[in-house]
Chains A and B, each alone.
Chain A
Amino acid sequence: MREPHDSAARPPRTPNRRGVRAARPPNPHSPGSACSCRRRRCLPTGPEGKNVEDFTGPRERSDLGFITFDITADLENIFDWNVKQLFLYLSAEYSTKNNALNQVVLWDKIVLRGDNPKLLLKDMKTKYFFFDDGNGLKGNRNVTLTLSWNVVPNAGILPLVTGSGHVSVPFPDTYEITKSY
């Protein structure tokens, strides 16, 4: 992964805790049925934002967000005889002055049939850089994190399901410049 321009060490992980617990879903097989998730969220101390040049994309300074998260999920009921694997992903959705809708995948994971279906992940860093198209993260109070998954069958339809628990995350009004990530 290419380093952002600001080579000063990145800010520390001020954790934004978020837990999504999937309880037994009523009907896990029909596409679009979200499992009933019980949200367990500790007090967030807030994610951080910086404003750096994205070397992998257009060379303007855009906002770069840092979020750490926890995920607790029980995927057992989604696996049936026709499910080969699940592609889980955590996405952030928000709107800015520049764009009415932005969606960014922050983290993903492939869960194969046979893998442990109970996920207990703590203090996870985002897998992909959370770059905005512009400077819309600073002060953005309404960034929604959602866990979704793509069911890949042995053969058949490829449904995209969104988990029903989602968390709203506010970004601070100032940029972080000193601390390390």
Chain B
Amino acid sequence: MNKRQLYYQVLNFGMIVSSALMIWKGLMVITGSESPIVVVLSGSMEPAFHRGDLLFLTNRVEDPIRVGEIVVFRIEGREIPIVHRVLKIHEKQNGHIKFLTKGDNNAVDDRGLYKQGQHWLEKKDVVGRARGFVPYIGIVTILMNDYPKFKYAVLFLLGLFVLVHRE
């Protein structure tokens, strides 16, 4: 393979990566959520969602938070978001809302999970509301996290494929 073809392949690869990023950013804009697709990591919402299911989120300001909705939220100081259902809401006249959540498969509500002294969640803690879901597909992400060797193998194969593939 000569230099020209190599540059061409590299540019192709760069285009694929940029397109993927643009699609992701586009999704962030459309859904209003900073993380429009999340993977369920725990079994606290079984039997509805299991570890490895993919959730599609929206976080539009016009959609008010109501009980029964499945929200993905982040607790202050923790980076891993949690997927649970809204159990109680109290909304003031000015639109300020505070709410409590609970996992379907948990016996008690989430107050024990919140920050010390925090009794309610607020809109700013919400990453998004679950609007759709696809089972099993997210297992790949979990595997890549738990087994870094697997992640390197996947990336290596991808790189190999891109470089070797002929247009």
Residues of A whose CB lies within 8 Å of any CB of B are: 1, 56-58, 84-85, 87, 89, 91, 98-105, 108, 110, 112, 128, 133, 148, 150, 152-158, 160
Contacts and interface: CB of A to CB of B under 8 A. Distances in A.
Contact of A85 (B48, B87, B135): B48
Contact of B91 (A100, A112, A154, A155): A100
A105 B104 CA distance: 12
A155 B87 contact: no
B88 A156 contact: no
Given A1-B108, A156-B133, A158-B132, A89 B68 contact: yes
B70 interface: yes
Interface in B77-135: 85-93, 98, 104, 108-109, 111, 119, 130-135
Given A105-B87, A133-B90, A155 B47 contact: no
Contact of B134 (A84, A105, A155): A155
B92 A103 contact: no
Contacts of B132: 156-158
B47 A105 contact: no
A158 B131 CA distance: 5
A89 B86 CA distance: 11
A69 to B, nearest CB: 17
A85 B47 CA distance: 8
B76 interface: no
A100 B93 contact: yes
Contacts of B134: 155-156
Contact of A84 (B48, B68, B98): B48
B97 to A, nearest CB: 8
Which of B49, B130, B132: most chain A CB closer than 10 A?
A: B132
B66 interface: yes
Given A100-B93, A128-B87, A158 B70 contact: yes
A128 B110 CA distance: 13
A56 B108 CA distance: 10
Nearest to A58: B119
Contacts of A84: 47-48
A152 B45 CA distance: 11
Contact of B69 (A85, A128, A160): A160
Contact of A157 (B47, B67, B85, B131): B131
Contacts of B93: 100
A102 B91 contact: yes
Contacts of A99: 90-92
B92 A105 contact: no
Contacts of A110: 47-48, 104
Given A87-B68, A160-B68, 16 more contacts: A56-B109, A85-B47, A87-B85, A102-B88, A102-B90, A103-B66, A103-B67, A110-B47, A110-B104, A128-B109, A150-B70, A152-B48, A153-B133, A155-B133, A155-B134, A158-B131
A100 B92 contact: yes
Interface in B26-62: 47-49
13 contacts: A91-B68, A98-B90, A101-B91, A102-B90, A104-B67, A105-B86, A108-B104, A110-B48, A128-B109, A150-B70, A152-B48, A155-B134, A156-B134
